[in-house]
Structure 1
Amino acid sequence: MNAVRDRDPLLAITQFLLRLGIGLIALAAVIVAFALVALILVPDQQLLPRLSAEGTRWWVVAAVAVSLVLLTLYLFFTLNLSRIVATVGTGDPFRPENADRLDRMAWLTLGSQGCLLVLAPLVGVIASRIDELRGDFDLGLDGFVMALVLFILARVFRHGTAMRDDLEGTV
């Protein structure tokens, strides 16, 4: 293990939790992908009789597909975050690739928010068709604010990298 991470247990714990999260998100994505294939290939009557009423099955297929996209975006977000934390552990976080990672994370966050905006009405339609299910999505502006913060942080990292390079050039 490297010297900075050995001295800072928070980095080691964070990296462990991120790796655990990556594994769990990947597992969930695989399960959702199998569910999507099952929804498409298994005849209506065998799967759930209630899904065959009024085309509800295809609303569920759409919701599961959007969920798979959402999990994929979360996976890439977490991978990028893990790589940034790794560079903090080496003692050199102000690198051009971290600015690029923060930009990607901002775009992934916007994509996730877009998926949630699509998923919310899908869940509402499904809930209205299956009486026992209650669909409720609480959409907020948190994700959009987070994307803005990530875009700004990317610029801060680019500026910090340029300042460090200028300083190294003058010494």
Structure 2
Amino acid sequence: MTEVRHRDPLLTITQFLLRVVTGLIALTAVVVALAIVALILFPHQQLVPRLSADNTLWWVVTAAMVSLVLLTLYLSFTLTLSRIVATVGTGDPFQPENADRLDRMAWLTLAMQGCLLVLAPMVGVIASRIDGLRGDFDVSPDGFILALVLFILARVFRRGTQMRDDLEGTV
């Protein structure tokens, strides 16, 4: 396919926003990783009394590690989405790679939901052990619905690629 001659403002804005979000996720992941190390190696003296009871420190560290995994999954998701948007910008989105990318994004979404299902009760336990913290953390079915939509879109892209290849073979 040929390059798209004009710039689509929606694609340009989307790519810009994806870059910003990807950068923010990466920065947050670095901060969380540093916080995990700091909690383990250099516990803050004012926090120690609040975190020492009932192994609360290890609950916090474990929740931070799950959060780090979650951020890594979000990072992979946004990078994959950015690659799909780039192919749309070239005018040829129906590529086998995009179907694979959509499948990957669906699996990433399911993994993110799994992390949230693990993280939600951990936040509740931590909040119950530290005075003044609230443990409101809701998990919604939206991520599971998004995963289903992405799996279906992957099949649509595979079928669209096959149809285009069949059409080009008959010409």
TM category (shorter chain) comes to over 0.9
Correspondence 1:37-76 to 2 at 5 A: 37-43=37-43, 45=45, 47-76=47-76
Cα separation, 2, equivalents of 1:48 and 1:110: 35
Say whether the 8 Å CA contact 1:33–1:68 is kept in structure 2.
yes
Q: Determine the structure 2 residue equivalent to 1:89.
A: 89
Over the residues paired in the alignment, what is the CA RMSD in angstroms? Answer: 1.6
Instruction: Quickly say closer, same or farther: Cα 1:158–1:116, change in 2 above 3 A.
Output: same
Say whether the 8 Å CA contact 1:99–1:154 is kept in structure 2.
yes
List alignment gaps of at least 5 residues for structure 1: none
Q: Determine the structure 2 residue equivalent to 1:8.
A: 8
Identity of aligned residues (%): 80
- Give 1:21's aligned amino acid: V
Cα separation, 2, equivalents of 1:168 and 1:43: 64
TM-score (norm 2): 0.95
Shifted more, 131-140 versus 34-43: the winner is 34-43
Q: How many residues are treated as equivalent by the alignment?
A: 170
Cα separation, 1, equivalents of 2:121 and 2:5: 44
Shifted more, 43-52 versus 5-14: the winner is 43-52
1:142 matched to 2:152: no
The CA deviation at 1:40 is 1.8
1:87-108 deviation per Cα after TM superposition (whole angstroms, max 9, x unaligned): 0000000000000000000000
Say whether the 8 Å CA contact 1:80–1:101 is kept in structure 2.
yes
The CA deviation at 1:6 is 3.7
Q: Determine the structure 2 residue equivalent to 1:25.
A: 25
Cα separation, 1, equivalents of 2:5 and 2:37: 42
Correspondence 1:55-134 to 2 at 5 A: 55-134=55-134
1:153 matched to 2:153: yes
The CA deviation at 1:53 is 1.5
1:107-136 deviation per Cα after TM superposition (whole angstroms, max 9, x unaligned): 000000000000000000000000100011
The CA deviation at 1:139 is 1.1
